[in-house]
Amino acid sequence: MLRKIELERETVKIHVTGKKMRLLHCNCGLSILFMTSGIQSHNTTFLLNFYFTFPTFIFYSVFLFVLFLFYFFSEKLAEIKPYEPCYKCEDDWKEHGGNCYYFSTNSSSWNESRTVCKTKGGDLVKIDSEEEQNFLRKNVQQKMEIHDIPFWIGLTDLAEEGRWLWCDRSTPLTFWRFFEPDDWKGKDPDGEDCGRMGPLYWYDNSCKRSHRSICEKSISPCFNTPESND
């Protein structure tokens, strides 16, 4: 009888133990399932965050890189000294009012003098204002002595007697001396058809006479190189 009771206890114990084992097995399965589900949920969240944040990350990375390049090249460009335009007359020419003037030392006829001016890139001077006349007069006075040879200017009435025009055929201001122009024919039967400049005023004279001359041209552009700026 006692043996039977002990056997029943063992059976119940085993039965209970089996249930516990099954419960433990079930609990472990659920735990593993929950753990696995947690991992999957975590991975899903990570992937979702990655997909949504990665384009933003790329955008800001590119933006910052562009800013860096802009700053870098701005600094480099600031260090470069540009070729700055300047304006300068050649040697032996005088600058005034955006033009260059050459006072020749050789004497020749009006036509020959004009040819010389053209070979130098200009023409016989055209006087457009009283201010320019005063500038030229001061220079002529410095270069002329009493009874010295005057200077041809780009004024003539060869095309039509009495109608004085500059070489570009524009009508001049007049700074003639009193009683000039007079077209005197005492030394040349063709008269006096070309203008010349003395220490104060203009005179007409035979175009065949030899005088010095004043050439004029626009001021020449030049460029300052980085070495010349140092």
For residues 136 and 198, give the distance between their C-alpha atoms in angstroms, rounded to a whole number: 10
Do 27 and 110 have their domain in common?
A: no
Do 76 and 91 have their domain in common?
A: no
- HSE at residue 80, side-chain half, CA atoms within 13 A, is 7
Q: Phi, psi at residue 128, to the nearest 5°?
A: -100, -10
Q: Phi, psi at residue 220, to the nearest 5°?
A: -85, 135
Domains held by the chain: number: 2
Of 80, 112, 139, the residue at which a domain comes to its end is 80
Residue 230 pLDDT more than 70? no
Q: What is the pLDDT, as a whole number, of residue 145?
A: 82
Q: Residue 203: name the closest of 192, 214, 188 by CA.
A: 192
Cα first-last separation, the chain? 123
Q: What CATH number did the domain enclosing 167 receive?
A: 3.10.100.10
Domain presence at residue 228: no
Model pLDDT for residues 55-108, shown as the tens digit of each residue: 676 766 777 787 777 777 776 666 665 555 677 899 899 999 999 999 999 999
For residues 90 and 68, give the distance between their C-alpha atoms in angstroms, rounded to a whole number: 47
Residue 184 pLDDT more than 90? yes
**Structural domain span for residue 75:** 1-80
**pTM, to two decimals:** 0.61
Residue 176 pLDDT more than 80? yes
pLDDT confidence bin for 2, thresholds 50/70/90: very low
Domain presence at residue 133: yes
Residue 115 pLDDT more than 80? yes
Domain presence at residue 191: yes
- HSE at residue 97, side-chain half, CA atoms within 13 A, is 14
Strands 151-156 and 194-197: antiparallel
For residues 139 and 200, give the distance between their C-alpha atoms in angstroms, rounded to a whole number: 11
Model pLDDT for residues 139-165, shown as the tens digit of each residue: 999 998 877 889 999 999 999 999 999
Residue 33 pLDDT more than 50? no
Domain presence at residue 227: no
Do 70 and 94 have their domain in common?
A: no
Contact call for residues 94 and 130 (beta carbons, < 8 A): no
Q: What is the pLDDT, as a whole number, of residue 39?
A: 43
Do 209 and 107 have their domain in common?
A: yes
Cα angle 98, 102, 107 (rounded to 5 degrees) comes to 155
At 86 the three-state DSSP class reads: strand
Of 22, 56, 80, the residue at which a domain comes to its end is 80
Model pLDDT for residues 4-26, shown as the tens digit of each residue: 545 455 544 444 444 444 433 44
Q: Phi, psi at residue 182, to the nearest 5°?
A: -115, -5
For residues 74 and 172, give the distance between their C-alpha atoms in angstroms, rounded to a whole number: 53
Q: What is the mean pLDDT of the chain?
A: 78
Q: What is the pLDDT, as a whole number, of residue 58?
A: 75
For residues 58 and 53, give the distance between their C-alpha atoms in angstroms, rounded to a whole number: 9
